[in-house]
Amino acid sequence: MNENQQPNWVSSWVWGLFLSLLSVNGLSAKATARLLAEDNSKWGVVRVEERQGKRYLLIDGVVQGAQPLNASSSLPSIGDPLVQLLDAGSPAEPNRQTVLLIGLGTGNTATQLQRSKRKLAVVEINPTVIAFARKYFGYRGPITTGDGAAHFRQVPDIRYDAIVVDALTAKQLPSALISDHFIRRSLYA
């Protein structure tokens, strides 16, 4: 594939990302909450709150993920929409087994990707998010602390079948993860 061609799955990825942003931003309404943890990190104020039967991870007041307090239903029955996009595949690329996930959040997406038996690398820039995902949301999988956009420079010999960008700075994607340079490097590495 040359640099002027767009893979078939790119439009699915963009729509999935748009729907993820829409659903996350729609959950930022205030309700009486019990604060479990808070840290003023370099990338914003990270909080874990409980309200309305769920535990939430927020950065600068915007919900990044949630989990029901009922332990038996810690993962949504319908599945993570980003994982569903990978599972749907495309005729051109049906087998996405090696996945890079940029952004950890609560760890739900990473956990579901691991359960689907994919080879997974997870990169999260914010150590507070990692600590809170482990302590308050039960994430137990592998994680690399670092900049997802810089990950390719650090491990140049690794190729991925899919790259899932699930990283937000409050209400937007980090500019480095939507730059032409990052996208070209991701698609043509």
* pLDDT tens digits along 154-180: 776 777 888 888 877 666 666 666 666
Tell me how many degrees the CA angle 151-157-163 measures, rounded to the nearest 5.
50
- To the nearest 10°, the Cα dihedral for 89, 90, 95, 99? -50
* pLDDT tens digits along 74-88: 444 457 777 776 777
pTM: 0.72
